[in-house]
């Protein structure tokens, strides 16, 4: 079985928004200096899920693929250290500022170049823009089924059973292979790369493919091909006021608090 996992590098989502700046001209986010980029949390869970499938189904091969500018190979190395077997980086000036359709096109082209695959895993959304469309459009582009927000996958022959997260539990759906599955955070804590994993990952070569390498259609990628446009970008300001409720007894304080909560329509 061959699993392809799409991973994305994003600015650390744990950093409070107030630390970011926005360039009003280009409408781009500027992360605070020194902020290390990380693997998107959902994508990391996709890698985790792939590793778990591999543990249960020996002989499975995992390929991690990422796209982006700069040192994105770090996220591929992270996936390799976790247990992926191969990694590919997609890097080209022409790829930058593509929207979900553009990205899906690039990924589809790269996956077609890879050739054989049984399962494609993506994070349910990237933890930076939270758009959550690329996985579905990718399936559409490749002409295969998609199952979204998975928390578990069980392989049964040429089919998979996917546990999908619902608001009040989960449902199990069956899908034929090959297909795309987007993975949710309910998968649980991704493994820490083992020392041996890191050492082996460091020794692996990660090829970088350009638009020409994968034969991407220039008309379908980049800002010009975008189906959507950012009209304004801002950091929401959040006002917090702090009020300390004082009273002589705890009971009295509780009553005052309850009244206050009702007054402010919190409850």
Which two structure tokens, joined as six digits, stand for 218? 């220039």
Residue 30 engages another protein in binding (rule: CB under 8 A): no
Residue 198 engages another protein in binding (rule: CB under 8 A): yes
C-beta of 137: minimal distance to another protein in Å?
Answer: 28
Compare residues 191 and 204 and give the one whose CB is closer to another protein: 191
Of 30, 131, 166, 199, the one binding another protein (CB under 8 A) is 199
Residue 196 engages another protein in binding (rule: CB under 8 A): yes
Using the contact rule CB under 8 A, the part of the chain among 134-142, 148-156, 195-203, 221-229 near another protein is 195-203
C-beta of 23: minimal distance to another protein in Å?
Answer: 20
Of 189, 242, 244, 266, the one binding another protein (CB under 8 A) is 189
Question: SS3 sequence, the chain?
Answer: CEEEEEECEEECCCCCHHHCEEECCCCEEECCCCCCEEECHHHHHHHHHHHHHHHHCCCCEEEEEEECCCCCHHHHHHHHHHCCCEEEEECCHHHCCCCHHHHHHHHHHHHHHHCCCCEEEEECCCCCCCCCCHHHHHHHHHCCCEEEEEEEEEEECCEEEEEEEECCEEEEEEEECCEEEEECHHHCCCCCCCHHHHHHHHHCCCCEECHHHHCCCHHHCCHHHCCCCCCCCCCCCCCCCCCCCCCCCHHHHHHHHHHHHHHCCCC
Alpha carbon distance 245, 252 (integer Å): 10
Residue 36 engages another protein in binding (rule: CB under 8 A): yes
Which two structure tokens, joined as six digits, stand for 156? 């049964």
Residue 52 engages another protein in binding (rule: CB under 8 A): no
Using the contact rule CB under 8 A, the part of the chain among 20-28, 33-41, 167-175, 231-239 near another protein is 33-41
Binding mask 85-124 for another protein (x = CB under 8 A): ----------------------------------------
Residue 227 engages another protein in binding (rule: CB under 8 A): no
Alpha carbon distance 66, 213 (integer Å): 15
C-beta of 128: minimal distance to another protein in Å?
Answer: 14
Compare residues 191 and 220 and give the one whose CB is closer to another protein: 191
Tell me the backbone φ, ψ of residue 32, rounded to 5 degrees: -60, 150
Of 70, 169, 195, 236, the one binding another protein (CB under 8 A) is 195
C-beta of 127: minimal distance to another protein in Å?
Answer: 12
Alpha carbon distance 154, 166 (integer Å): 18
Residue 56 engages another protein in binding (rule: CB under 8 A): no
Residue 38 engages another protein in binding (rule: CB under 8 A): yes
Q: Using CB under 8 A, list all residues that contact another protein.
A: 12, 14-16, 19, 32-34, 36, 38-39, 189, 191-196, 198-199
């Amino acid at each position: 079985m061959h699993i392809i996992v799409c991973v994305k590098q994003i600015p650390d989502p744990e950093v409070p928004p107030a630390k970011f700046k926005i360039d009003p001209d280009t409408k781009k986010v500027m992360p605070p200096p020194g902020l290390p980029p990380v693997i998107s949390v959902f994508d990391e869970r996709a890698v985790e899920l792939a590793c778990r499938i591999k543990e249960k189904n020996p002989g499975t091969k995992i390929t991690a693929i990422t796209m982006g500018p700069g040192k994105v190979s770090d996220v591929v190395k992270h996936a390799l250290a976790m247990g992926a077997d191969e990694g590919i980086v997609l890097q080209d000036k022409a790829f930058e500022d593509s929207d979900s359709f553009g990205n899906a096109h690039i990924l589809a082209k790269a996956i077609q170049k890879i050739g054989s695959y049984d399962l494609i895993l993506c994070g349910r959304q990237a933890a930076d823009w939270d758009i959550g469309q690329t996985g579905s459009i990718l399936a559409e582009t490749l002409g295969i089924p998609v199952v979204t927000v998975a928390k578990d996958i069980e392989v049964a022959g040429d089919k998979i059973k996917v546990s999908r997260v619902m608001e009040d539990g989960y449902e199990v759906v069956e899908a034929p292979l090959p297909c795309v599955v987007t993975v949710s955070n309910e998968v649980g804590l991704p493994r820490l790369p083992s020392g041996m994993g890191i050492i082996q990952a460091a020794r692996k070569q990660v090829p970088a493919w350009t638009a020409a390498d994968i034969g991407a259609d220039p008309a379908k990628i980049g800002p010009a091909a975008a189906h959507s446009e950012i009209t304004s970008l801002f950091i929401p300001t959040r006002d917090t006021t702090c009020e300390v409720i004082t009273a002589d007894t705890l009971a009295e304080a509780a009553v005052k608090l309850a009244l206050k909560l009702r007054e402010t329509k919190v409850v």
